[in-house]
Structure 1
Amino acid sequence: MNLNQIHNVYFIGIGGIGMSNLARYFRNLGKQVSGYDKTPSILTTELIESGISIHFEDSIDLIPKDFYLDNTLVIITPAVPKTHSEWNFFVERNYQIKKRAEVLGLITKDTFCFAVAGTHGKTTTSGILGHLLYESGADVTAFIGGIVENYNSNLIGSGSTVTVVEADEFDRSFLHLHPNIACITSMDADHLDIYGTSEAIEASFIEFASKIEDKNNLFITKELPLEGITCAVNEAAVYKAFNVRVGNGSYVFDVQTPTEIIRDLHFGLPGRHNLMNALMAIAMANLFGTPTDAIAKGIASFKGIKRRFSYQIKTDRKVYIDDYAHHPTEINAVHQAVSELYPNQKVLAVFQPHLFSRTRDFVDDFAKSLSAFDEVVLLDIYPARELPMEGVNAQWLMSKMTNNHKKIVSKEDLIPTILASGATVIVTIGAGDIGELVPIIKKAIHESI
């Protein structure tokens, strides 16, 4: 398929974080873009305001007639059921229908592609890298799996020769990509509903790594069983962050590269995991030839990703942080960052588990991670694409936790529970619709201070 010959792009599931940045991309290219989604959201509102036609009812009659032409590409999300009438309309008429991952594969084939892989850290690392390249003047488009605070968007730039993409292991999507430079931040077990075993997911990452023929273009953490250029914080590695200290609420650190030491980099994102994300982005930008002063300036000015340790309230009396963490390792990272920043303060964690299968597969690890917090409030499991599983619920998870202060609440009772807690630091955690509650929680806490 030649994307240059495509005039119309129709999205089924246009409001997803990954689908919406593709919609923005094709709109920037001058294509006619339209689509369907199940429910309105902040993202769909922004797309509509940019001139994209979107409807929220599965109806063939609502597909714009302009999109009945041969030069229409249809892009679908894996979450759409096979019974979807609009999807079947296009299938029956032999339209060109692609998954999002396949379209990213087509885009990256014709550009110089940076691919960021790993069970954790993809969004922050790709956001930092996209920002560094864009700020240095590179002709880049970066597709980010979250809203980058600097741009209030999940798309950075509108370049045509360089791309930054998240190499998503879900559904083996990253095997469609054509990376020139890549990194792998982690290979923890996840998505076992797709892979079945941790060995299978590791094999998939190894297959992704094989796409980089020159291993000098593949950046890895030291513990991964792969050949590549090592990155580490306070340990010997080809790229090493060291002399880490905290000043004025930011990390300050030095980076050893193969040819120089970059001193006194300032970076505002909390948590040791974010230092590694920054180092991976710095290493890739450095290899690409980004000037050292541009790297230093870009790292200092990066504001972070919404829902990634995102401060909602930050006062002497109360702190409210929101984070997308939905895997035990990510919850551990949130706890590490909160503990480092707010030692000896009472922390309340509000967690919404994401997927029945993930809760089942990692229930003991979730229980251990959550038990580290002083107080935990659980919401019911967010099902996303799944049907309920017998015996897999929030009550089961809570029974395995060792905290003295833990409870399950409904969304209706959540705010009164938070306000009654007395915690000085509140963290909302999860990848489901808990993110939609954040503005309401923020308002209630703010009014109570």
Structure 2
Amino acid sequence: MADERTQVVIVGAGPAGMLLSHLLAADGVDSVVVETRSEEYVAARIRAGILEQSSVDLLTEVGLGDRLTRDADKHRGIYLQWPEERHHLDFVDLVGRAVYVYGQTEIQKDLIDARRAAGQVVHYEVTDTALHDIESDRPSVTFTDSEGRARTVVADAIVGCDGSFGPSRAAIPARESWDRTYPYSWFGILADVAPSTDELIYAWHPDGFALHSMRSESVSRFYLQVPNGTDPASWSDDQIWDALAARLGHGQNGWTLQPGQITDRSVLPMRSHVSTPMRHGRLFLAGDAAHIVPPTGAKGLNLAIADVALLAPALTALLKGDPRLADGYSETALRRVWRCTHFSWWMTTMLHTTEDPFDTQLQLSQLRWVTSSQHAAAGLAENYAGLPIGF
């Protein structure tokens, strides 16, 4: 049994875990990261692509903004659309904040490069991960490393950044959770084609929701509302482009959708989940280990960043003998979690069609209100562009 000693063990090497290790290192706190997947797999996961202003500010302040500042596409707002109508909401005019298109894969590359240069210890491709003694001041994590050796890392605190299926959430006793499973999924498509829009288009359509997003000047990201259980292979390329053209309004007021080569397709179930508390003893949860939101409001990655931005100073203070921030972490983080959970639900239910004609009229009424009332538009903009960390 090989033993290691560190101050914080971080379970999960995604953006939340790697950013936390970076923030802790800046405060002089040592950490060890353990991850079940390979480095290549974690770096290549195609997930979120929208960063709030506060997330960009934080990443820049901690030395992770070089490529972000150079390559991110700054957006002033979004388009909301339904048949024969398209309206632009300018977040900068409404609330003074923009959003930025910069994929999670790019953030992960920046974090991996920065932590490797700093000599961060990361154990990839581990198995049998288990948490022990979380109510003591010497908790530990055991696992089998990629070479088959049993290992133990003893620490002062453990942080679970290991998503909804990792061991961290399950290690908290007497936890309470809230769930909402939506009756539809997102069919995600990545295509080698320049975006046909300058900013994201969120489209309500009788056939189902559609979203035109982007990853770069030459790569576009699209989503279609589909029934749960849809097999992505059951759609031909022509069917995909025809559905996108219809739902996004190809030909409407002269706008055209440019098709291209589809390079990736996947189906993402839609759900909301909040697990409380986010701390028990010396175990803390961050990111998807504590909460999941549907992607409609672009909150998932930004919530994870906000969590670790709160948690890093709390852990630093705790290790110096001051427990106040750590004691308040769960309550403080959950205020923002629930606000973002509500906003994500609100955007989702406003834009995704059902078979109920009553729902249809409510959704269209809400869309007309949001695009005609400055106060309503400002509320959407404030939530989408991001509330302050620690809200």
Do the two structures share a fold, i.e. TM-score over 0.5? Answer: no
Structure number with higher relative contact order (C-alpha < 8 Å, ≥ 6 residues apart): 2
Q: State TM-score, norm by structure 2.
A: 0.27
TM-score of the two chains, using structure 1 as the length reference: 0.25
